[in-house]
Amino acid sequence: MNIEAIFAQKFGTEPQACVFVPGRVNLIGEHIDYNGGRVLPHALHRGVTLALSLRSDDVVRVASDRFEGVSEARTADEPTDSWAKYAHYTMRLAKDIGWISSGADIGIISNLSDGAGLSSSAALCVAVLKALREVTGRSESDVEIAQFARRVENDYIGMPCGIMDQMAVAVAKPGEALFLDTGSLDYDSIPLPEDVSFMVIHSGVHRELADGRYKQRADECLEAKSYFGTDDLCHLTLDQVEGAVDLAENVKRRVRHCITEHERTVQAASHLRARDFVRFGESMNASHVSMRDDFEMSVPAIDRLVESAVEAGALGARLTGGGFGGCIVAAVPVDASEVWLGKVLAQHPDAFLVE
């Protein structure tokens, strides 16, 4: 059933706008988008398809192909359905910034797994905003859409994320990587290779980033920012970190990850442009070690999956997303990908291919 049919079934009318927003997988550059670093995500073919019509009252009704019933709340009320909260809060932001004065009916189709680290929440927020832009005739750019979507997560959800996810799903197109400076929001696109596939495998471990562990890492970075007097931890030096004798060791490790991950991402973008996939894979492997040991955001199931991926022939593999579960991404030669996938999944019965 397509989005128009679902919308008509749930709301008895045709939508005023339909949009598609992709999910994303981050090839390298984790937890540095709120620390002044560069990141390298790419847009997926999977994503969120959303239909929307404005209403004459201030009620927001949300329906999804993955949940029964319709979630309903006024724009000023707290939503009671957790699966629909991102849509409700994006509508509240749109009203707060003066885009709209009423509610809306919203229909959603998504083939992104929740808790997988593929930016399903960012894609939903961006999709609502893009649909509203179309319906209201506004002229805000995709970059501005991404900035508003980040505000939804930061200010309304309470998720202290950076701008990477929103920029990746708002700006990037499937088939290209987005090399993004998260400080200036300058970016360029790098075509993905045809002879190497970036395989996304879900570990089977689901997580909710709002459970506190992501925030704990963000708070540790805030402590470091206060200590060093900068918001750009990625641009410190390792000597500065080692010289901070009265800074807690766990916070030092977080900063060390930010510095080295930023450097790896810059190098990896150069390797991708040069089509040097062996060195790109080495950067991915080093990134996972840093996330595991310095940022401490991995879990045993992810570590075993990454190890199996490399042993089975991946050029490189790493955790992708906010951490504590979700997916890995692996760079695999296309002509070996089918055999590689069979080997990996045979060792990890809870894991499954995402894209």
Average pLDDT over residues 213-231: 94
Q: Which of 191, 206, 222 is the last residue of a domain?
A: 191
Do 105 and 54 belong to one domain?
yes
| CA distances (Å), origin 42, targets 20, 29, 173 | 16, 12, 8
d(CA 332, CA 261): 21
Give the least confident one: 89-93, 147-151, 157-161: 157-161
Q: Which pLDDT value is given to residue 149?
A: 98
Provide the strand spans (E) within the chain: 17-28, 38-54, 59-64, 67-74, 104-110, 176-181, 187-191, 196-202, 316-320, 327-333, 352-353
What's the whole-number mean pLDDT along residues 218-230? 97
Q: Same domain for 248 and 172?
A: no
Q: How confident is the model at residue 303 (pLDDT cuts 50, 70, 90)?
A: very high
Residue 242: phi and psi, rounded to 5, are -65, -25
Per-residue model confidence (pLDDT) at position 119: 73
Q: Which of 172, 191, 210 is the last residue of a domain?
A: 191
CA angle 45, 47, 51 (to 5 degrees): 130
Mean pLDDT of 264-268: 98
Residue 115 has a pLDDT of 59
- CATH number, domain containing residue 235: 3.30.70.890
For the CA atoms of 31, 32, 33, 37, what is the dihedral angle to 10 degrees?
-170
The token duo for 297 is 């955001």
Look at residue 217 and give its three-state secondary structure: helix
Predicted confidence (pLDDT) at residue 270 exceeds the cutoff of 90: yes
147 and 233 in a single domain? The answer is: no
Q: What is the pLDDT of residue 174?
A: 86
Banded model confidence at residue 118, pLDDT cuts 50, 70, 90: low
Active site residue 294: no
**179 and 228 together in one domain:** no
**Whether 87 and 209 share a structural domain:** no
Looking at the predicted structure, is the pLDDT value of residue 253 above 70? yes
80 and 187 part of one domain: yes
For 108-154, give the DSSP string: EEE-SPTTSSS-HHHHHHHHHHHHHHHHHT----HHHHHHHHHHIII
The predicted structure's pLDDT at residue 214: 83
User: Phi, psi (5° rounding) for residue 66?
Assistant: -105, 0
Return the structure tokens found at 273.
């442009």
Matching residue, tokens 């708002």: 170
For the chain, the distance separating the N- and C-terminal CA atoms, rounded to the nearest angstrom, is 22
- 85 and 230 within one domain: no
Domain of 246 in residue numbering reads as: 196-353
Residue 339 CB neighbour total at 10 angstroms: 12
- 110: β partners: 48
CATH classification at residue 75: 3.30.230.10
Are 277 and 130 in a shared domain? no
Last residue of a domain, which of 132, 162, 191?
191
Pair 184, 237 in one domain: no
Q: Report phi then psi at 198, rounded to 5.
A: -95, 100
User: Hey, how many other C-beta atoms are within 10 angstroms of the C-beta on 69?
Assistant: 11
On the question of pLDDT at 163 being above 60, the answer is: yes
Helix, coil or strand: residue 250: helix
Q: How many residues does the chain have?
A: 355
Is 265 found in the same domain as 169? Answer: no
For CA atoms 144, 147, 149, 151, the dihedral sign is: negative
What does 12-34 look like in DSSP terms, one character per residue?
SS--SEEEEEEEEEEEE--S-TT
Confidence bin at 211 (pLDDT 50/70/90): low
What number is the average pLDDT over the span 90-108?
97
Average pLDDT, the chain: 94
CB atoms within 10 A of CB 83: 15
Per residue in 5-19, pLDDT (tens digit) is 999 999 999 999 999
Q: Are residues 61 and 95 in the same domain?
A: yes
Q: d(Cα 127, Cα 169) in Å, to the nearest integer?
A: 9
Do 321 and 201 share a structural domain?
A: yes
Which listed residue (57, 165, 276, 294) is catalytic? 165
Q: Are strands 59-64 and 104-110 parallel, antiparallel or unpaired?
A: parallel
- Residue reference for tokens 């049919």: 5
Which of 53-57, 206-210, 250-254 is the least confident region?
206-210
Number of structural domains, the chain? 2
pLDDT given at position 122:
93
pLDDT for residue 260: 98
